Chains A and B, each alone.
Chain A
């Protein structure tokens, strides 16, 4: 494969939404004509989709109460006495 190195950089710039219009056009043109790069790009997008679709998990029940119970009490008294 003899694709210019900057094509992969353009893929990442595209994914970071930091690509110029001219670069984006060059990238698109290249992807149309090169199946290896097209697959590379598809795999990158697939990896991102997998990570983004990991379910958003919540903190366990009682998390806040547990934090509050562990806060140093002295600080509170000290501050209150001001």
Chain B
């Protein structure tokens, strides 16, 4: 697939805008899915996913053709998602430590308060439940988990996309998994 994409990118750079449509077709589902799992809202996800493709197009000349296009478009999309999440956040941070406590975050306080009563839980689709738990993860863990388990990327690719050392990616995935374990163990 990357070979076809590389050919299309060369055509786009030469001014063939239609060739870009083929690239969008190839990656739209993956990019949309990434945005949806990060943002938890279809409209926002569509907005951000489109923005990612538009930015990639505008900056196509700066794309290093030795890299995978998928890693590049993922990187643009992850940065846009994180910007959007930060803009939406109120003046406190869910993953900031609560003052005077050790390791206790606002997020852990909230998650223990929002356990749903049994009957309400049963009426929800499991899918929505899992998405909700993903949405509760602090964004840096959420991003790593989504890339690993929903986009099914390797640790090396994730490290490239997030521009983080492999060790940091592993730590985030470990912590994300532990948080999800706590959140999902009674589902």
Contacts and interface: CB of A to CB of B under 8 A. Distances in A.
Interface of A: 12, 15-16, 40, 43-44, 46-48, 50-60, 63-64, 66-68, 70-72, 75-76, 78-80, 82
Interface in B22-58: 24-25, 28-29, 31-33, 36-37, 42, 46, 49-50, 53-54, 57-58
A21 to B, nearest CB: 20
Interface of A is mostly: helix
B29 A51 contact: no
B177 interface: yes
Given A46-B181, A50-B130, 4 more contacts: A51-B180, A64-B25, A67-B50, A75-B57
Contacts of A57: 29, 32-33, 36
A63 B17 contact: no
A47 B184 contact: yes
Interface string B68-111: 00000000000000000000000000000000000000000000
